[in-house]
Amino acid sequence: MTAAACYTIYTNAAEMDSDLHMAEMPPAHPFDFDAFRADGDDKLREECGVFGVTGVDEAANFTALGLHALQHRGQEAGGIVSHEPGSGFHSARRFGYVRDNFTSAKLMETLPGPLAIGHVRYSTAGSKGQTQIRDVQPFFGEFSMGGAAIAHNGNITNADALRRELIERGSIFQSSSDSECIIHLMARSLQRTVPERMKDALRRVEGAFSIVAMTRTKLIGVRDRFGVRPLVLGRLNEGWALSSETCGLDIIGAEFVREINPGEMIVIEHDKLTSHYPFEKVKPRFCIFEHVYFSRPDSILGGESVYETRRQIGVELAREAPVDADLVCPVPDSGTPAALGFASESGIPYGMGIVRNQYVGRTFIEPTEQIRNMGVRLKLNVNRALIKGKRVILVDDSVVRGTTSRKIKEMILDAGAKEVHFRIASPPTAWPCFYGVDTPNRDKLLAASMTEDEMRAHLEVDSLKFISLDGLYRAVGEAAGRDPDAPQYCDACFSGEYPVAPHDMLEKGFELKAAE
């Protein structure tokens, strides 16, 4: 028997065996997320959120709640795998929001047991807008020593090379996800336990990964050695929980214990927690954009409130780029804390000049092209009485393609504003991310081909200023700013300096930043 035959990945009801029970799922057809994104929103998208819990009754229900709190990290699909002694593994995967799928009592009854993990996702940049149900995590593998499920946040930067090698050796891939490489590598390991096989597999993997995994009795959490993506540990009565962010712990009433350290693997079995460090130690490079945009403002990162950090970004921005104006207005909702900090530091009044429609959802992919082309007006509306006759400072978290920024500017001018000034709470995004963020190709990034002044002219605003990289570092607590010789964070999307070489993309012709 070959190593490839030692396990199975289950992707639909026809493939399951007696040890994996899958809830009835919709047809496995592609879901067109190009239409889902047709509203013109050009924010960067964090591709995944992971959650797991053990040692509690109805663990899947707690997992669904955790995933609901992590919905901002992935809104296209979600999945949960649970285990119940005596009946084995159970799985359900669905397209759409957690609230629309995993709140059904009928569905949740199919996910029994005291141990469960879950995942929410966006499709990756390479998926060309087509997501199959088989790509939805967690993935499940049946090994000679028992089954295991895995949910992954991040991107494997040598996945193409690993996939070619594994296929040549007989592995049969059933999804387009780079995360499936981990299951295949585990199958080929000669180690005797799932955690040891996982260590073997992850030593072959390059890039970024925060992983929540489970066996019949164990809950496992792992971060890559750079700690690019977040993962935290919580205590829930007599049980334990793992989450991409602390807000996932809050919703289930779990007590935050600590962050999983970069390069650390923890294994929890029968209330016993053990910690391992299976990877070569390096200086951590946590993603600085988690502070700017990805994480929820009520989460804690590195012991600091995300909300307070974003407010301080606004303070730094006001110091670096003052402007004479009448009103500081956030681009909701991500620009709100920075706008409050800008207004406080500048002394210019703060006002909700733009109001978000909280009830816009996927229903708007269905109507006519005319409705879809209304773009950001479906999501945002200008408070005309507040804006009219004012010189307005718009504070936003980032400028990616610039399409949304131009539309918002037009809406503000149509409402009677005298001037429009953009202040951006991150440096110019000039480089794509290869570590778990859905980023456009570099030629689609406005800052990759334009100077700040050229971007101002392109957006047709009265002024445009970004916070400096040093200013951003000061806002997140690095008083001396960024260390150019040894950056404290991963800031590749701003600096072009990648802590892990994106080998797959280099093979496809991507060019790294030239040495200065």
Which one of 48, 247, 433, 493 is the catalytic residue? 48
394 in Cβ contact with 371 (< 8 Å): no
Residue 72 Cα to chain centre, angstroms: 8
Bridge-partner residues for 205, per DSSP? Answer: none
DSSP 376: G
Q: What is the largest CA-CA distance in the chain?
A: 76
Q: Which of 120, 171, 118, 115 is nearest to 146 (CA)?
A: 115
Calpha distance 465→144 (Å, rounded): 58
189 in Cβ contact with 201 (< 8 Å): yes
Half-sphere exposure of 9 (CA within 13 A, CB side): 26
User: And the tokens for 466?
Assistant: 């970004």
Where b means 16+ CB within 10 Å and e means fewer, 273-312 reads eeeeebbeeeebbbbbbbbbbbbbbebbbeeebbbebbbb
Where b means 16+ CB within 10 Å and e means fewer, 158-167 reads bbbbbbeebe
336 in Cβ contact with 401 (< 8 Å): no
User: And the tokens for 215?
Assistant: 């066996």
User: And the tokens for 116?
Assistant: 């469960």
Calpha distance 412→420 (Å, rounded): 8
One-letter identity of residue 376 = V
> DSSP string spanning 169-232?
TT----SS-TTHHHHHHHHH---SSHHHHHHHHHHT--B--EEEEE-SSEEEEEE-TT--S--E
Helical axes 306-320 vs 336-346, angle rounded to 10°: 50
Q: Which of 223, 136, 218 is nearest to 179 (CA)?
A: 136
- Residue tagged 């009830």 (tokens): 359
Asked about 48 being catalytic, the answer comes back as yes
> φ and ψ at 456, to 5 degrees?
-60, -45
Residue 54, exposed/middle/buried by CB under 10 A (0-12, 13-18, 19+)?
buried
Evaluate the CA torsion angle 398, 403, 404, 405 in order and state its sign. Answer: positive
Calpha distance 322→342 (Å, rounded): 9
- Residue tagged 């998926």 (tokens): 127
User: And the tokens for 196?
Assistant: 């040891």
Residue 44 Cα to chain centre, angstroms: 9
Which residue numbers are catalytic? Answer: 48
